[in-house]
Structures are given as structure tokens and as C-alpha cells.
Amino acid sequence: MMHLRSRWSPKAFGTWWRNLNTGVLKEADHEKRVSMVPAVAEKLIAKGYKIAVESGAGLKSGIPDSAYQAVGCSVVNRNQVKESELLFAINPPPAEELKSMTGKTLVAWIGRRLPEGEAFVKAGQEAKVTLIDTTAVPRITIAQKMDVLSSQAKCAGHRAVLEGAYAFERFYQGEITAAGKYPPCHTMVLGIGVAGLAAMGTSSALGSVVRAWDVRDVSDQVKSMGGKWITVDFKEDGAGAGGYAKESSKEFQEAQKATFHKHAKEVDIIISTAAIPGRKSPVLIEDYMVKDMKSGSVIVDLAAAGGGNCTLTKAGESYVTDNGVTIIGYTDLAGRMGMQASAMYATNMMHMVNHVTGKEGAEAFMPNVNKALGSDEGDIVVKSMVCCKDGEAIVAPPPPEPTPVKKKEPKAEKAAAVIDPAQEARQTSAAVAGTSALAIGASLGGDPGFIALLNTFGLAGAAGYQAVWGVTHALHTPLMAVTNAISGLTAAGGLMLMGTGGGAMAQGLAQASVAISAVNIAGGFLVTKRMLDLFRKPGQEDFTSIYLLPAAGLAVVPFVLPAGAPTVGTLSGLMCIGAIGGLSSQKTAQFGLALGVTGVTGAMSMTLAALPAGQLAPALGLVAAGGAAGFGLGKAVNPMALPQTVAGFHALVGAAAVATCLGSHMIHPDASVGHKVGAMLGNAIGGITFTGSLVAFGKLNGNMSSKPFNLPNKNLLNLGMAASQMGMLGLYCATSSPGLGTALMYGTTALSSTMGVHLVGSVGGGDMPCCITVLNSYSGWALVAEGMLLGSPTLTVVGSLIGFSGAILTKIMCDAMNRDIMNVIFGGMSVAPPKKGGAVEEVKEHRETKPEQVADLLLDSKEVMIVPGYGMAVSQAQRAVADIANFLKEKGINTRFSIHPVAGRMPGQMNVLLAEAGVPYDWVYEMDEVQDEMPSVDTCLVVGANDITNEAAETDEECSIYGMPVIKVWEAKNCIYLKRSMAGGYADLENPVFFRETTQMLLGDGKSSCEGIAAALKAKS
């Protein structure tokens, strides 16, 4: 018996899988379906599958051999088909035929959990055939497209209604004719799974009055389809494993039978679908109930194969009872829709092989199967479907637990928290006292200069903290860019080391710090200017040149009035704080940028003026070279690439901090404890920032996989590296040996660089917006460490400002994404909660639309809300969206944009993209500003947004994004989703809004869809 782990290697099968020979077997005479249809075969051939179809395989489904040949299949006899390596069938062939398939892989409806399925698997083991059971797909979201049980059950449910209508021989809908008035048919559906929902839908469409019941409380689904929910006066949870219903208790069965007896007397047609895999079908309708039914009534028992839900059902037969009730027990209802059922089954098979191979194509099928079987972390879909291989049984993992279907109940109002004023006062007092005690304790016996800088750090941090909270969400991206530029003051640290000795290595590090920091300064400020220009309204004047006049004065003062240099440093720090304050609104943003430039200019000028003789010219050359490079980068970057550009700038700050700290150690190997603490902390934080930012850049730019590393014992790795770092810091502070000190500094560089890779690499690509803000914060703390290292109040002030700014943005982002801030900071410290709601109970239906229909809907609206998401950015649809908004505005339709704080890959990215497309900023609102107005919106256009509009975040407490604030687009009167496909967002969760009656899906490329809508609007004007 083989458990989940296997000894096979993906390479064991050689190269013959590169052109995977695939065969399609003809079914037995009683089966009308076929496992492959030409339309699907054509798609698989394009992926490297060579398909041979047994002659006559599709005839009973209305598919001639010539249709297969027309798409590239070969039509051969059965023995030739069995030469293929991968064989498809619906029903498994006779067990004795397996001996002729040794070494092959058979994909069929095996039913491994059923007794006959177990016997067939045993025969497959003996014949050494790899068996893949299509019915064993786990009921999780990613496997929904492969679920043959759902697709065939839908066909069966639809066909059941048609069979019932044929046997009923009366009107389905109510009719008023010259010959009299005839009431509608009344239908009772028992079991609301996929088949039951399909039966409900078809019955309602034909005009029947439907009532329904299920052991689970799915009353909301029934009512949403226009049905009446049947209540059994007995409470019991009916949800079972794998998304199926479980067997009910004896007491519940008695109560439900009394209820069914009552309804059986009233209805005309009963359709029962209750089945439990591997067990006898539960009895819901007994003979005494049938005897009390009206003559001419019909029972269609979809559970006949398992013994039937009705005691009088005869599997495979249809007959009329003595009292005139027709009981239909056909076990091939799906097969009676041969063409449709075959097409759906074949599509399921295509999704299955695509899931296994990914983008690699046919050649990867068996290697990927082996890979999944060979690891405990292997793909659960594959491990669930493979029954046996090479003569050994494969034990399937347990089926996933379903998400319980909960009856919606009004949320109880939270009781107001009772606050004890005295207790609150004591806690506040204790917090102040504790903080003060820590500060005083840290100052005892310490370096006075270090303590003075610590005080400066605290005061500047408090001021910066207040300033950052005032920045509007729309300007968070410019905020990050301007703080990135300001963090380029690591150049000042390099300048302070130039000409102070330490050897060629130390001076080289100092010069490198100056040059790469200058890249940050010039590039960061230019990117900020370009973004703010996008927000400027047409005709609005730009006074930046006037705002920058004070910068000229601060640049000159340190050279002509050396005594005023300290004051210039103080003013520079204050202006950097003012730069952030200026970004609190669009009106003052340009002034804020100018303050930032002025502050950095003053700090750099003050430092340049203090350089030793002979160092000024080289320093100016380094600044000029770095600035030119930064200017080029800032001018070339486009708004789509802003996230990775910001990450790249962060890397430069980290590298500059490392260079400065190493150079400072070489110049002052026997410095004071305060100096050593600053040197090692700056080195460590800079190393983490440098490599972590490079990893973030790689993930955002597509150079690296966005998946988290998830190394074994990653938490212990993080703790071990952090403990080692603290140990080295303690040893560094205690030692007086220059050699050991140098070794410890180099060790810190290596260790922190490794930590940066692991911390950021362990965070998934979807959390990169949070990671960017964390790295932004780290760059500030590195600058603080430099300030303390070099005794610079200006660097300390500016560093604390940036550190707190990044920390606050991180808090805002994590709250908006419902992420654990500690999990992001410490590299995926805890594993993200598994997706809930993954158990799939039915294949839900959605409504699709076309650009012309969307245009009609928009023109009929008075209030339109547009919700952009990252999909808009990827498809570069912002200009087409702007065209739509402009046209609607011209027509007098109130059109606005609602922006989620984390729509995109960094804070405020959607605002920048819309501004680039020419959308005025006063058309754009933060989510909270317009959330309450959504019910009055006639049409909500959702462009490439999923998770930020997912209703499950508010309704499903077990959903992995539960609690994340979302835009309530479902409250609008009409909702149009523009998406590439029906797939989930980053969280890979199904969005219930997709299936609402008021929602329509416009699927396809976002840019093409928006351009189509814009063109349709203009054509109708």
C-alpha cells in the first residue's frame, strides 16, 4: 500500500511524454456519452497531445468520426487506441480488459469510494495500470472546473424535469384559454445540490411553482431562485464531508417524512436527488406517501442507482403505480443528454490535464503527477484522483471539510463596552511611567551625545507621526516617492566620511554611498514631481519654481556664513517634516514637494561645506553623476512600474547605509559604545533593506515567482538569525579588538543580507504592497542609525520621519487588506489561513453581457460608480475608462470613482493611473467617502477588481479575507464586472457577487472591453 509519498522521480518516464499519445475509448452499448468531443480535442492537440479516437466512439452523441478527423484526431480501432499512454473513458472498461493496458494510464469514472470502484482499483493494481478517478476530485475552488459529478449532475437535473414533464402530460405553467383555466404544475425538489438547483431552474423556467428542501439550510438559495423553502420542524446540521450531505438521524427522518407526506399530497411532480457516495440512498418517499398522491403525478428519482429515495423506485425503469403515479428510476439521465453531457465531461477533462501540466503542456503530465505523489505537500487534486500506480494503491487524502451553509441572521448589535474611568486612568498613567522609566534607564551611564540624539529622534518621530496621518490616501504613492528621495540623505553620511582616513576601502565605501544616494535623491524627487503633475488640473499653474527659491538660499548659507550651518541643519529637518505635511491635500502637494527638495538641499549643502579641503570637487562630481543617473531613471519610469521602481530605490538606500556603516567602522574601529551600536544597527537594517528590496523588485517586476518561499522551519530560521545578530551586536560592543570588530561587521552584512532575502521572499506577491511600505520604513530606521553613528541631528530627524511614515503606511495597508502586520514584517511568520468557502456544493450560474448592452445600461443610468482594480492596471485600460467617464459626464450622468486603499500594488497607485489618463482628481473618491451612497447608484462598473469587492469578506466568517473592508458594489442596482475570466482574485476565493441577479459579467481583456463600451457609447450618441 502506497501512502502519499512515492519513490518515483519525475524523470523516470523519459522523453516519450513530450508528445503524449492519448486515446479515447468507445463506451459500452448502453452509454450514449463519449469522453472527448472535437472542440476540446482540438485545444488539447494544440498543447501537444496526439489523440486517437476509437471508431464510432461519438456516434451516439451525434458526433461522426469525420468531426474528430477534421480537428486532427486519428480514428482507429480499439486495440490501436489502447496503445496510447493516456486513455480517456467515461465508464471504466471491463476489468478483464485492463491486462491489455499494462503500463498505461486510464482516466475514467471509477468511483473509488464505492464497492464496485474498489474492486476495479484492485484489478488495476494487478494489471499495473495507473487509474485516475474523475469522480474523486476534491470539492475545492481550484478543482471546480474538473468536477464531473457537478457537470453531469447538472445535466441529470435538467433532464429529470424534461422526463417529468413528458410523463405529466399537462401544462407546466398556468394557462387561461377559451377551453378553461388550468393551474400551474407544482413541483417539489428534494435535495438542493447541483442536480437539485438545475431541476429548480428548469422547472421555474417552464412555469412550474417550485418548493424545495435539503437537509442543510439553503433557504437563501431556494428563495433567490423563486422557490418556496420547505421547513422540517427539527434542527440538525446536515453538512457532511467533501461538500455532500450526511446521513440524518432516525428522529430527524421521522419528522421529515411527516413533512414530505403532507407536501406529496399537494404537488404534481417530485424530483429527488438525495444521495450519499458509498452508501445506500436515503429513503425520503415511502409507499404510503405514493398511495396518497394525486393520479397523474410523477416522481423522478435521481438516486435510483443507490437504491432510490422512493421505496417503490425500480432502477433503470419507468412505470405507473396502481393509483396512477409515474415513478421514473432512470440511472442514465445525464447520458440521455449525450451531446451536452459529453461536451461538459470533455471540458472537465481538459481542465484536469491543464491543472496537472500548468503552462508546460502535455510533456509535463506524468512528471507532474509523480511530483505530486512524491511529496506530502503535493497537489491535493492529483493525490485525490490517482487510485493506483505500478501495482500499488495510492491512499487518497481525506476530503476537505465543507463550509457550513449558515442561515443568515441579523447581526446582533455589539454591546457597548463598559469603560471604567479609574482603570483607564491607571493604565494610561502606567504606560507613561513605564515609557519614561525605560528612557531614563537607557540614559544612565550612556554617551551624552548619543542620548541627545535619542531625544531628537523621539521628538522628530512624534512630529512626523502626526504629519503622516494627515496625508490623503490618493497621495500615498507620491508620499512614498518623496520619502524615498529624502532617505537619499544617506549621501550626507558618506560625505561626512570623505577625507577622514581609514584607508582606500573606507574612502571607496564612502564615495559609493554618496553616488548611489544621489541616484535616490534626484530620481525620487523627479518621480514625485511627475506624479503630482498628473493630478494638476488643465490650466492650473505650477508654482514649483517659486516655491524652490528658498532652496537657493539654504544652498549658499553654509558656504558664506559657516556659523549658520547648524541652523540650516535644523531648518532642513523641519522642512522635511513639512514636506509630508504638504501632501495632506492636492492644493498643497506641490509646495510640500518643494519643501522636501529645499530640506535635502540644505542638509547636503551643510555637509558639503564641512568637507576637508580637496574633497569638495570629488564630492560634487559624485553627487552630479548619481543625480544624472537618478534623473534618467525618474524620467523613464512609467506609472505601471512605480511599485518596482520604489522598491529599487529602497535597495539603493540600504546599500548606501551598509557602505557608510562599514566605512565608519574602518575609520573608527575603537569608537564608543553609542557609535558601535549605530554602526552595527545601520549595517543590519541597511542589509535587510538592500536585499529585501531587490527581492521585492524581482517579484513585482516578474523576474521572480510571486509565491512565498515557505522554507522548512522558516520561523526558527528567522529567530536564529535575529538571535545571532543580537549576539554579534553584544560582542561588537564589548570587544576592543579591531580585527574581531571588522569580522563582526562583515558578518552582520552577510547575515542581514540573508535575512532580507528570506524575510521578503517568505511573503507572497499579493502582500508586496505591505512589504514596500515596510521597506520604506526600514530605510528610515537605517538613516536614524547613521545619524546616531555620525552624531548628526539632521539625519536622525529625517530618518525618524521616514521610519514612522513607512510604519504608518504599513499599518494602513495591513488594515485595509486584513493582514497581520507582524506576519508581513517577519516574513510570513504565520501561515496564511486556508481559504474557506472552498467546498463547492454546486456549479453556480452567472450572466454574461456585451459592450453594447453595458453601454445601454450606462446611458439609462443617472448615477454611475466606477471601481478600478489591479486588473485595470495590468490591461492598461485606464485611458479607455477615462473615455467612458468623460462621455457619461458630458451626457449629464453623475459619474464617480471609488478607490480602495489597496487597489493596486502600492498605496494610491490607482489614483496615479487615473490621473495619468486625465481623470480629474475631484471625480475620484476614497472608498469610505462614497460607501453609503452605493444603494443609490444605478450602475456600478467594476474594472479588474475582485478581492476588494468580495461580499464574502462581510458575510462568511470562515472566509480567509473575512473582516477586510470591501467596496459594497452588490448594493448598487446593477453591477457590471469587467474581468478576464471567472477565476478568483489573489485570495483565490469565489466572489458571491458574480452570481447575483443584479450582476452581469463582461469577460475578456479589460482594455478591449472598455474600448468596446466607449465605442458603443459614442455610436449611440
Q: Is 112 a catalytic residue?
A: no
Amino acid in position 280: K
CB within 8 A of 563, min separation 6: which ones? none
Provide the 10 A C-beta neighbour count for residue 892.
8
Provide the 10 A C-beta neighbour count for residue 432.
10
Name the one residue in this structure whose C-alpha cell is 476495479: 120
Output the CA torsion sign for 618, 620, 625, 629.
Answer: positive
Q: How far from 691 is each of 443, 612, 821, 994, CA to CA, in Å? A: 33, 33, 20, 41
CB within 8 A of 34, min separation 6: which ones? 24, 26, 27, 57, 58, 60, 61, 63, 90, 338, 342, 346
Burial code (b: 16+ CB inside 10 Å, e: under 16) for 974-1002 equals bbbbbbeebebbbbbbbbbbbbbebbbbb
How far is 104 from 20, CA to CA, in rounded Å? 12
Q: How far from 428 is each of 421, 424, 442, 671, CA to CA, in Å? A: 10, 6, 21, 39
Q: Residue 507, class by beta-carbon neighbours within 10 Å (0-12 exposed, 13-18 middle, 19+ buried)?
A: buried
Q: Is 870 a catalytic residue?
A: yes
Amino acid in position 764: G
β-pairing verdict for 318-320 and 326-328: antiparallel
Provide the 10 A C-beta neighbour count for residue 154.
26
How far is 676 from 737, CA to CA, in rounded Å? 13
Residue 791: left if φ>0, alpha if ψ -120 to 50, beta else—which one?
left
DSSP 3-state of 901: coil
What strand order describes the sheet that includes 209-213?
228-229, 209-213, 186-190, 269-272, 298-301, 326-328, 318-320
Helix runs in 133-272, H state only: 148-168, 194-206, 219-224, 250-264
Q: Where are the beta strands (DSSP E) in 259-389?
A: 269-272, 298-301, 318-320, 326-328, 386-389
Output the CA torsion sign for 922, 925, 930, 935.
Answer: positive
- The DSSP secondary-structure symbol of 143 reads G
How far is 994 from 1002, CA to CA, in rounded Å? 11
How far is 21 from 777, CA to CA, in rounded Å? 55
Q: Which of 78, 279, 962, 986 is catalytic?
A: 986
Q: Which of 598, 570, 589, 592 is nearest to 579 (CA)?
A: 592
β-pairing verdict for 386-389 and 392-393: antiparallel
Give the DSSP H/E element, type plus range, for residue 898. Answer: strand 894-899
Q: Which of 49, 345, 732, 870 is catalytic?
A: 870
How far is 650 from 671, CA to CA, in rounded Å? 28
Q: Give yes or no for a contact between 647 and 700, defined as CB atoms under 8 angstroms apart.
A: yes
DSSP 3-state of 1008: helix
Q: Which of 879, 884, 913 is nearest to 896 (CA)?
A: 884
How far is 28 from 6, CA to CA, in rounded Å? 34
Name the one residue in this structure whose C-alpha cell is 534626484: 522
DSSP 3-state of 183: coil
Q: Which of 905, 921, 925, 977 is catalytic?
A: 905
How far is 379 from 138, CA to CA, in rounded Å? 11
Backbone phi, psi, residue 810, to 5°: -60, -45
Q: Is 986 a catalytic residue?
A: yes
Q: Give catalytic residues, as residue numbers.
A: 870, 905, 986
